[in-house]
Amino acid sequence: MTDHGSHTTSTSYCYRHPGRATRLSCSECGRPICVECSRDAAVGQKCPECATPVGRNRVIDARTIRHVDRATTPVTWALIAVNVAIFLIGRLDSETGREIFVNAAQYKPLIDNGEIWRVFTAMFLHANFTHVLFNMWALFLFGPALERRFGSASFGALYLAAGLGGGSLYHAVGRLDPAVGASGAIFGLMGALLAATYRQRHTPAGSAVFSQLMLLLLINLSLPFLIPNIAWEAHLGGLVAGASIAAAWDKMPRGRAGASAQRVIIAAAVSVVAIGAVLVL
């Protein structure tokens, strides 16, 4: 990676590999580390020494792990709960379900008439059981990793911006079919994970994760060619929005005061651009 600012800032070198220039540093001790030495932590990245558990190991049962996961990733679980609840409400009462769809689905003619909220509300509606199951399973897989990596507020802002980015591109293309689903936001999470793991792709673990994500992404991007009525525009818009946000976040120093607020501002800016595009187009 080319560092365009190297002529104005001093270059740091990994403390374990003195010949490797790096822009990363341990969020705990502050020592410079290269990508190979970086270890993902709950907050930022740590060097191998700081990432080593202190004291004796202890056994934690599965119930404790599930409780900790829910406590550290509340936005992911809240999003799953809201999506599933709205789907079940619509299924248990067909008239209510029809009203929800009529008033909240993304539909270009009505959005052009001022019902801008539909770009947002459509993210929480699903056409059938398979639709909601696939999206919520993907959210369950990708959401916790990103929420633990960047924090709940940043993750929530990312999810919203990716969903709006997907809805924005769908609207811009001009398709007149009503659209529903969290797929734009889900593809945004996939794009964010790709961007977040890109610099670790040269390590064995990073390469495995990056390759798996790329394969999964290619499979999902090919689905519109195999299955009708899939809004590929929303998928692509969400993917680009999520990857762009995470790439911008990756350039920010981790562990610095105010980093969470800055990440939220970046994601909010993408949301504003997406809404602005809908208003203009």
How many domains are there within the chain?
Answer: 2
**Do residue 165 and residue 123 come from a single domain?**
yes
pLDDT along the chain (281 residues), means of 10: 44 81 80 82 72 54 51 92 97 95 96 96 96 94 91 96 97 93 95 85 73 82 78 94 93 75 96 96 84
Q: Is residue 61 part of a domain?
A: no
Query: Tokens 């900790």 identify what position?
Result: 68
How far are the Cα atoms of 61, 234, 240 from residue 76, in angstroms, in the given order?
22, 20, 21
**Closest among 181, 206, 186, 185 to 196, alpha carbons compared:** 206
**Do residue 38 and residue 87 come from a single domain?**
no
Q: Is residue 5 part of a domain?
A: no
**Do residue 37 and residue 83 come from a single domain?**
no
Residues classed as catalytic: 183, 235
- Residue 101, domain CATH: 1.20.1540.10
Asked if 106 and 125 count as a contact pair (C-beta separation under 8 A), the reply is: no
Domain ranges, residue 264: 71-280
**Do residue 134 and residue 17 come from a single domain?**
no
How far are the Cα atoms of 188, 208, 230 from residue 213, in angstroms, in the given order?
13, 9, 21
**Do residue 31 and residue 143 come from a single domain?**
no
What is the pLDDT, as a whole number, of residue 69? 58
Torsion angle of the four alpha carbons 71, 54, 193, 211, in this order, in degrees rounded to the nearest 10? -130
d(CA 189, CA 136): 12
**Do residue 112 and residue 165 come from a single domain?**
yes
**Do residue 45 and residue 84 come from a single domain?**
no
**Do residue 150 and residue 29 come from a single domain?**
no
What is the pLDDT, as a whole number, of residue 200? 74
**Do residue 89 and residue 37 come from a single domain?**
no
Q: Is residue 56 part of a domain?
A: no
Asked if 172 and 93 count as a contact pair (C-beta separation under 8 A), the reply is: no
